[in-house]
Amino acid sequence: MATTADLKIPSKVFDVFDIKDKNAGTSTGKKWLDSHGETIETFSPTDGETIAHVTCANKDDYDKVIRQAQEAFKEWRKWPAPSRGHVIRAVGSKLRERKEDLGALVSYEMGKSLQEGKGEVQEMIDICDYATGLSKQLYGFTMHSERPDHRLYEQYHPLGVVGLITAFNFPVAVWAWNTMIALTCGDTVVWKPSDKTPLCARACQKIMGEVFEEFDVPEGVSNVVTGGACIGEQISHDDRIPLVSATGSIAMGKKVGQAVISRLGKPLLELGGNNGMIITPSADMDLTLNAALFGAVGTAGQRCTTTRRLIIHEDIYDEFKDKLVNAYKQLK
């Protein structure tokens, strides 16, 4: 493990999230389980140094977590939605307390700027606020029936265990977007984080565990299963998981979508793009330059909306190219 003297991150961050040299990568909420898969090392793109080691789950570990999530669902779905919302509100409050620490960890393990690391945590806080309000607005319709003395109404019911596969570029926000909505609606979640950012997942689960302890949330409501593509494949093919949300490349999305649909599950995919910016002679050069530069290198260039192509009118091609090359030379 890199020494604190070498780290471009406050040493207390590791203490706050109980990150050591060797860490378990499987959790059912408040508990961390002994894992029996391979041990991976996570390193910072900032300096290439190893941060820590995490033990992945194997098939038996995965099955244990799924069974726990199924059992937890039986109880969690019976909690009144506003009560589930109180739990999510507490998660948001805890994230506000830990914003600086978690933002620093995201920046250091993933490689994006500190400002964007903190911004990602703010997105988590925002979705907690939204989900808390949603917990009191799970409405249904009431309709008149053609039959005497009958009434018709619709009511939403939770699906069950939701599978979540996230990418390394947004190691915490995407998890929060999916998880806070799913938990509010009464589902339980099994999360496979990117094996490039397992410490961010550990930090999130540490926060969840602290809140769950306070509210006596059933073990298995929010779960983490660290591992490689094999864990993602298990989630995709597992008919115990009615909905799978996956973020990543188009190639990965095709595999996940086909696997989930083949068993009549519901896939929710957020995949990479191929975004282009069209630049005309009438464009404001300074504004366009800033937009192109940030679009390409913001979030270290790892964003599904990252600008990948510039389509430039020939009359301003050379002028804009020279400005862009000069701007890139100033980047650190």
Distance CA 263, CA 274 (A): 30
The CA distance from 23 to 20, in Å, is 6
Label residues 219-233 b or e (16+ Cβ within 10 Å = b). bbbbbbbbbeeebbb
Residue 126 burial (10 A CB sphere; 0-12, 13-18, 19+):
middle
Q: Does 204 qualify as catalytic in the annotation?
A: no
In this structure, the number of other CB atoms found within 10 A of the CB of residue 285 comes to: 13
Q: Which member of 120, 270, 314, 319 is catalytic?
A: 270
DSSP-assigned letters across all residues of 315-332? TTHHHHHHHHHHHHHT--
- Print the SS3 string covering 200-268: HHHHHHHHHHHHHHHHCCCCCCEEEECCCHHHHHHHHHCCCCCEEEEEECHHHHHHHHHHHHHCCCEEE
Q: Report which of 156, 238, 158 is spatially closest to residue 190, judged by C-alpha positions.
A: 238
Size (the chain), residues: 332
Q: Which of 100, 116, 233, 304 is catalytic?
A: 304
Non-local (6+) Cβ contacts of 27 within 8 A are 33, 202, 205, 209, 223, 224
Close Cβ partners of 328 (under 8 Å, ≥ 6 residues apart)? 293
Reply yes or no on whether 213 is catalytic: no
Phi-psi region at 57: left, alpha or beta (left = phi > 0; alpha = psi -120 to 50): beta
Catalytic residues: 270, 304
